[in-house]
């Protein structure tokens, strides 16, 4: 297995406020990796480190097995493209923006074939001669994405790319991410606050909470208090395998929750609720159940067919203590 990045003992702070503290983290090459977590958890800071826009203050980072240092950042930057959440386009036409990206990387496209190819790939050839500043928000994001991939980077980084997109644009971007990695065999890392979306799209998922990597997808993420191996969210009580002591959060793995129409015989954590949403999540079905707390449950199409459930149906949510992560 080849890693695009290897991080060890990484620390980063702003004004003595620690925002990242990562003991060890590997990001596989030629895969899609989703970086998920709540706002303020350190996702953007980590992406800036991976893009070599910031230097880690502590620890060591390797890029394709090569140790990184500030004096080599320019060479590494040439191999990485970073699409920020709010991309900035330069003055001039769409073609001007793409040509400048190629020039910055010392790439020659006198025939214009590379520019034409990327415009066709993202279906924006009609924008080629438009002033970049006059485009709509969605059009600007597509142009910024074209600018990011036209240099054929080894790694494409995307910060919250699904923010502010309508449903149709969101599905198109999901399709692009999957096809891009399949066709180019490159590495793609994107951040998202939509944890279920990240799990559905990505090969690997990195969960961040308060700047640290959590061994949990952070779905079904509840805040509360622990007393005698019971976590009280204020709405439901969840039995834990071990006492989390001063922990304030729990997360229940959505793929390890069982749904049933009758009350389970085995006395695990079980709550009766109502089906609130049913969504196709690229090969899996997500069922949202309001059972005191809102649970997101991932099931296979076959299991969903066997359950034969619809919106507003009553259903039992059931999970064992070892499917819970405590923070």
pLDDT tens track for 176-233: 999 999 999 999 999 998 877 888 889 999 999 889 998 777 789 898 998 888 999 9
Query: Based on the structure, what is the number of domains in the chain?
Result: 2
pLDDT for res 111: 83
| Residues 51 and 77 occupy one common structural domain | yes
pLDDT tens profile 258-271: 999 999 887 789 99
pLDDT for res 62: 94
Pick the residue with more confidence: 161 or 218? 161
End residue of a domain, out of 157, 180, 214: 214
pLDDT tens profile 103-137: 988 888 878 899 999 999 999 999 999 999 999 88
| Residues 88 and 205 occupy one common structural domain | yes
| Residues 44 and 179 occupy one common structural domain | yes
Spatial contact of 50 and 157, defined as CB atoms under 8 Å apart: yes
Q: What is the mean pLDDT of residues 160-182?
A: 87
| Residues 188 and 225 occupy one common structural domain | no
Give the whole-number percent of the chain exceeding pLDDT 90: 62
Give the predicted TM-score (pTM) of the model: 0.80
- Please, which pLDDT band fits residue 74 given cuts at 50, 70 and 90? confident
Query: 3-class DSSP state for residue 133?
Result: helix
Task: Give me the CATH number covering residue 36.
Answer: 3.40.50.300
pLDDT at 308 over 70: yes
Task: Give me the CATH number covering residue 257.
Answer: 2.40.50.100
pLDDT for res 244: 56
| Residues 306 and 208 occupy one common structural domain | no
pLDDT at 88 over 80: yes
- With 0-12 CB in 10 A as exposed, 13-18 as middle and 19+ as buried, what is 10? buried
Helices 113-121, 137-149: crossing angle, 10 deg rounding: 130
Average pLDDT taken over every residue of the chain = 90
As a residue count, the chain comes to 327
End residue of a domain, out of 214, 236, 252: 214
| Residues 72 and 200 occupy one common structural domain | yes
| Residues 210 and 264 occupy one common structural domain | no
- Please, which pLDDT band fits residue 73 given cuts at 50, 70 and 90? confident
d(CA 202, CA 182): 12
pLDDT for res 164: 74
d(CA 218, CA 140): 31
| Residues 12 and 104 occupy one common structural domain | yes
pLDDT for res 313: 97
Identify the domain containing residue 235 by its residue range: 221-326
| Residues 89 and 148 occupy one common structural domain | yes
| Residues 262 and 118 occupy one common structural domain | no
Q: What is the mean pLDDT of residues 232-239?
A: 95
| Residues 319 and 297 occupy one common structural domain | yes
pLDDT for res 301: 94
End residue of a domain, out of 194, 214, 234: 214
- Please, which pLDDT band fits residue 248 given cuts at 50, 70 and 90? confident
pLDDT for res 117: 94
Spatial contact of 217 and 207, defined as CB atoms under 8 Å apart: yes
Q: What is the mean pLDDT of residues 93-106?
A: 92
pLDDT for res 163: 82
| Residues 107 and 255 occupy one common structural domain | no
């Amino acid at each position: 297995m080849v890693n695009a990045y290897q991080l060890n003992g990484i620390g980063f702070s702003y004004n003595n406020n620690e925002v990242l503290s990562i003991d060890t983290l590997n990001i596989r090459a030629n895969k899609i990796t989703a970086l998920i977590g709540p706002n303020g958890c350190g996702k953007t800071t980590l992406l800036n480190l991976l893009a070599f826009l910031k230097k880690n203050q502590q620890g060591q980072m390797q890029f394709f097995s090569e140790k990184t240092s500030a004096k080599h950042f320019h060479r590494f930057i040439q191999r990485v493209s970073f699409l920020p959440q709010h991309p900035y386009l330069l003055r001039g036409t769409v073609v001007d923006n793409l040509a400048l990206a190629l020039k910055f990387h010392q790439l020659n496209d006198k025939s214009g074939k590379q520019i034409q190819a990327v415009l066709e790939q993202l279906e924006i050839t009609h924008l080629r001669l438009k002033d970049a500043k006059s485009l709509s928000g969605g059009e600007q994001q597509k142009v910024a994405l074209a600018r990011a991939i036209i240099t054929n980077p080894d790694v494409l980084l995307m910060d919250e790319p699904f923010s502010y997109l309508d449903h149709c644009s969101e599905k198109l971007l999901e399709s692009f991410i999957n096809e891009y990695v399949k066709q180019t065999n490159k590495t793609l890392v994107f951040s998202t606050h939509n944890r279920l979306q990240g799990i559905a799209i990505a090969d690997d998922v990195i969960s961040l909470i308060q700047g640290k990597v959590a061994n949990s997808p952070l779905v079904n993420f509840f805040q509360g208090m622990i007393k005698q191996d019971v976590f009280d969210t204020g709405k439901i009580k969840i039995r834990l395998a071990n006492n989390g002591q001063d922990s304030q959060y729990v997360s229940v793995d959505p793929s390890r929750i069982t749904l049933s129409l009758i009350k389970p015989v085995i006395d695990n954590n079980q709550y009766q609720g109502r089906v609130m949403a049913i969504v196709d999540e690229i090969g899996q079905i997500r069922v949202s159940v309001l059972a005191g707390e809102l649970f997101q449950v991932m099931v296979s199409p076959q299991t969903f067919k066997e359950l034969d459930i619809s919106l507003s149906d009553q259903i039992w949510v059931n999970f064992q203590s070892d499917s819970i992560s405590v923070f």
